[in-house]
Structures are given as structure tokens and as C-alpha cells.
Amino acid sequence: MNILRKIRISRSDKDEEFYSAIKEIVGFKPKNINHYKEAFTHSSLKKINPNGGYPLNYERLEFLGDALLGSVIADYLFKKIPKGDEGYLTQMRSKIVSREHLNELGKDLGLITFVNSSVPNQNFGNNIHGNLFESLIGAIHLDKGYKFTEQFIYKVVIEPYVDIERLEGKITSYKSVLFEWCQKNKKKIKYSVYEDTGNDSLKHFSVKLFIQKELVAKGRATSKKKAEEIASKRAYYKFQNLIEK
């Protein structure tokens, strides 16, 4: 057997393994596996679609998946909660499709193991998990259409995780809760943000949160927004009894 023949067999085995893994995750037989390959192709590879000349990576599918996920969840909530007004329904949808929740879903499915990238997995931010989950939804839609996409979202998101009563009490932004509480009680709140990369290869930011000029919590993450939210969450639990009065 020549070298070229060995390479072909190796690639075929790898594709079959990927096909089987995707089939198990989505619950049906994919028709065009290339859609799913694109769903896990990172932009760092700088691949170009030979037919269209445009970048070939998961970012476009992520955009499509985000819109489809929001649409299916909106339709579900509209039918499930007939007395909910626009503001309430929007808030509930935001809780279900929050970045935190999507990241958890992506992690549960182990999607990062399929990423084809020139960047080591440990260098990705936490949002990679949610991004891949959305790109997978986009791939399902291109491969099988809206009905299969809807069924997948019901099976993976709505049926196991959507509990209306529990979601009503879920906080999506601890920073917003803290600001409202401080404004209501005439307390001064301030976030002090600074770069704190240290020995990490990725840029990090640290946050000090002050209420009434007193340091009450700290946070550190790969973005200012995340660091502020971490500090806010810690401060919330510190003052939870007062906030929830």
C-alpha cells in the first residue's frame, strides 16, 4: 500500500469519526458533513471558500445560529406565556440565551474538542463554547432546514433547561442589580479597572469595586465587562440580605 493510499484511508477514518460524533450530538444523520466542518473551523486557519472566495470559518454560522436560536425561543415563550408582555418575554428570552448559559451548553456537548484551529484550545476565551453552539445550530439549519433546527433546540435547550418559574428569579446582570440597589439607597458605586496580564498569554483585566468608597469586591477576566460582572456577583452575595429586602 503506497503512502497516498494510507493518507486517504486516514482521512476517511477521521471523517467517519467526526460524522459519528456529530450524528450522536444532533440526533440524526447529517446530509452534508461540510456544513459541520465549517461550524468548527476557526478563523486563525485563514481558510477561503474555493467556490465563493469568502472566509471559511464558523463566524458566519454563529451569526445564523444566534438568530435561529432567538427565533425558536421567542416562538416558544410567545405560546407558553400568553399573558407575558413584550418586556417580560424579552427578559425571559435573554435569560435563556445568555452567554453564560450558551457557554454551559457548549461545554456539556464537548464542542471544543472538534475545533480545527492554529490556536491552542487553552488560549480561547470562555465564550468559544457558546459561539460553537450557535455555529452548530447554523450548520443544522443549512443541512436539514428549520424544522430539524427547531427540534434540536427543543431537545438540547428548552426541554432540559427552560423552567419558567426558576428563570423568573434568575439574575442575568449582577452589575445592573447593584446599580439599581445603590441608586435606590443613595449609595455611590465605582469600578476601578486596570490591566493585569501577569504571566498569562492572553490580556487580562482586574476590577476593584467600591461602594461608599469602601472596597467590597474584586474580579479578574479576559475582558473589562466580564471582570466587572465577576466583581458585581461577589458584591451581590456579600449584600444579598440587604438587596433582597
Is there a catalytic annotation at residue 134? yes
Do the Cβ atoms of 26 and 140 come closer than 8 Å?
yes
Which position has the grid cell 416558544? Answer: 76
Cα distances (Å, whole numbers) of residue 127 to 18, 49, 83: 23, 25, 34
In this structure, what is the dihedral angle of CA atoms 97, 102, 104, 105, given to the nearest 10 degrees?
100
Per annotation, catalytic residue among 15, 38, 62, 66: 66
CA 103 to CA 106: how far, in whole Å?
A: 5
214: β partners? 211
Q: Supply 101's cell numbers.
A: 448559559
CA 41 to CA 47: how far, in whole Å?
A: 8
CA 143 to CA 34: how far, in whole Å?
A: 9
Is there a catalytic annotation at residue 66? yes
Per annotation, catalytic residue among 134, 143, 150, 228: 134
Do the Cβ atoms of 74 and 97 come closer than 8 Å?
no
> Cβ–Cβ contacts within 10 Å for residue 84, how many?
15
Give the catalytic positions in this structure. Answer: 66, 134
